[in-house]
Chains A and B, each alone.
Chain A
Amino acid sequence: MKFINLLKKELKELINAQMIASLLVVMALLVAMGNMMSSTINEISNTEYKVSLSDRDDTDFTKSLLDQLEKDGSVITLIKTEGDNYSEILKENNLDSIIIIPEGFTDLINKNEKPELITVSRMESAAMMSNISNHTSDVTNLINTYIYKELSKKAGITEEELNYMTSPVNIVENTVVADKSANISVETIMNNVMMKNQILPIVVFILITMVSQTIMNAIANEKIDKTLETLLSAPVSRSSIIGAKMLAAAIVAMLNAAFYMVGFSSFMSKTTNSTNLSSNMDSLKEMAEGASSVGDILSTEAKLSQLGLSLGITDYLLVGLQLFITIMICLSVSIILGALVNDTKSSQTMIMPLLMLAMIPYMISIFADINSLPVVFKTLVYAIPFTHTFSAMSNLMFGHYSLFFGGIIYQIIVLAVCMFFALRLFNSDKILTISLNFGKKDKQKTNSDT
């Protein structure tokens, strides 16, 4: 009952209008971003190639080339240009890109020489998606293919022979995961698995930041307002006080995690669906050319299951358990750190080492496989308890059960040690007397000295 009373008070302090509003804003942003990404990718994959082109050669060959491009689905806007002041050409015609077929283009082809095909693109940003609507390279590929086919025809090579020459062997790609194998390429697996694997590290990182800050501020505020002294002098056990604080923060963290998971899943699923749609469209085009089969496209999920790369309900429960242990480690460490600070500003500084410990495995999990690191680095990275959470999904997917369960056991040991020190701190008068103020005058200590 007393514990419930304390828990209710802690929850009431943590779950407030600001928190709910920020969660809703994050959810709305993620859903909106998902929709935006989805529509952008769909636009790119579904629409025809729109390009501006200047035909300075103006021969029958280039005319039939342009006809073929339009038949292939390109929308060509013909523009008359002169000279090589390209920035002026783009500016005058209000364009972002243009393809220029120079004079003498056909003559050089007829002489079996390589003509130049000029492309001009305006670059305004280095962002990944900034040049995504520029179809110049797609159209130059189509031009190359057209010329290639025309030259082959001229040499008496049939389309079937040409297709054979382009792709003389059928590559049958098999991938082995642990002791299971499936007829699927590594690249396809990577495309499918990567998106799923990225959600957990993002959520874990946000949670570590949020949980640590919340509990440290809670302790620091209680110390500043001296409500902690009032609580500690009341007839209620110290373990109940610390337990209620930790449980409330864990509940709020899990609530946040659920919201973020839903938000990110919505974002990722929209992005992934669009990407899959786009890649399936490409595959369908390839299939039409005989390079693939319907089965290859439709059974990717089934093949991932065959390889054991699809996570089941037990796997998700195990990941949830590890997430919970991670949050508890964060809470116990943050309680100790929170006891060292006397104001919320200091708590922001104090959280940095904890964030760095989360940042290192987070960054590594995005860019590299921890197991492929040199032994010394691998040991150091695995010594960080959060590493095991970041690699949880990957370990379960690829059947590294010893690493996964070893990680859980290690995290439980770390949690037990941290909890021992946190409880010991709360059960001693150190909770009121210790502080790290980096040279600042310690108000708490001054009071203790009186």
Chain B
Amino acid sequence: MGNVLEVKELSKKYTKVFAAEKVSFEIGEGEIFALIGPNGAGKTTTIRMIATLLTPTEGDATVAGYSIVKNPSKVRECITYLPDEAGAYKTMKGIEYLKFMGGLFTEDSKKINEFVERAKEINGLGERLNDKIGTYSRGMIRKLLLSRAVMTKPKLAILDEPTSGLDVLNALDIRKTIKRLAREENMSFLLSSHNMLEIEFVSDRVGIISKGHLMVTGRTDELKERYNAPNLEEVFERVVLENEVH
């Protein structure tokens, strides 16, 4: 199994403070990798660098072999990005939004229609797609955006806090969709979340990040065993404490 994403000592410095420092990890094909950590830990900065929105101060990352520093436009062809608490154009209908976003990935109208059909299947919004996005609930918008992020079958889908602010049922639905797409379509995911129980359920591997440093990466069961913890939250607590001691 080849790596879709390879992050090598990626750093971002804002004036005097490192928001992310020498972060390194990789994601294989069909793998769901989650960056976990509290607010302000450096998850979003790392994700934004990989999504080519921020220029790294140091280090590099490759997506499907393309460097985010040297070849960001090629990287954008291989990824999709769903920002935390993202919205959509409220004056557009759901279906128009999907067509518009599809049109940014290809100029072939047949392919755009395929993308839209696929998104329709994934989001399950049915007839509501003909309504203006301004009339959607938060859960509906998130489902629409998730379907947009995966409809083009990207090599890597980057989802920042994919279920934040959603009720239990909507969150569960989205988690199931992510898992299904990874298993059935071999799609790779980079997630970020501060909800560690959610991550334990959905991800194959996790990376614990705190104060800009990636402390440890591994499978959740491995980490639980290594740190002798019943769940990921306690693993996180022990990792952070260990880091402070050192």
Contact = CB atoms under 8 A, between A and B. Distances in A.
Interface of A: 1-2, 5-6, 8-9, 12-13, 16, 224-227, 229-237, 428-429, 432-433, 446-450
Contact of B53 (A1, A8, A12, A432): A432
Contacts of B41: 450
B242 interface: no
Interface of B: 14, 17, 19, 39-45, 48, 51-55, 73, 76-77, 79-89, 91-92, 100-101, 103-105, 107, 145, 158
A231 B145 CA distance: 13
22 contacts: A5-B100, A6-B104, A9-B89, A12-B91, A226-B83, A227-B86, A230-B83, A233-B51, A233-B79, A233-B158, A234-B80, A234-B105, A235-B104, A237-B73, A429-B54, A432-B53, A433-B54, A446-B40, A447-B84, A448-B48, A449-B40, A450-B19
A225 B133 CA distance: 13
Contacts of A446: 40
Contact of A233 (B53, B84, B85, B89): B53
A230 B45 CA distance: 15
Contacts of A447: 44, 84
Given A13-B91, A230-B86, A234-B76, A429 B104 contact: no
Max chain B C-beta neighbours (<10 A), residue from A2, A231, A235, A236: A235
Contact of A449 (B19, B81, B87, B100): B19
A235 B105 contact: yes
A51 to B, nearest CB: 60
Contact of A235 (B40, B77, B100): B77
A16 B42 CA distance: 40
Contacts of A235: 73, 76-77, 104-105
Nearest to A9: B100
A450 B45 contact: yes
Contacts of B55: 428-429
A9 B98 CA distance: 12
B103 A2 contact: yes
Given A235-B77, A432-B54, A448-B44, A229 B100 contact: no
Nearest to B90: A225
Max chain B C-beta neighbours (<10 A), residue from A13, A229, A231, A237: A229
Given A16-B91, A232-B53, A449-B14, 8 more contacts: A225-B88, A226-B86, A227-B86, A233-B79, A234-B101, A234-B105, A236-B104, A432-B53
Max chain A C-beta neighbours (<10 A), residue from B42, B44, B48, B100: B48
Contacts of B85: 226
B86 A233 contact: no
A86 B107 CA distance: 83
A5 B85 CA distance: 25
B19 A448 contact: yes
A228 to B, nearest CB: 9
A448 to B, nearest CB: 7
A166 B237 CA distance: 106
Contacts of B40: 446, 449-450
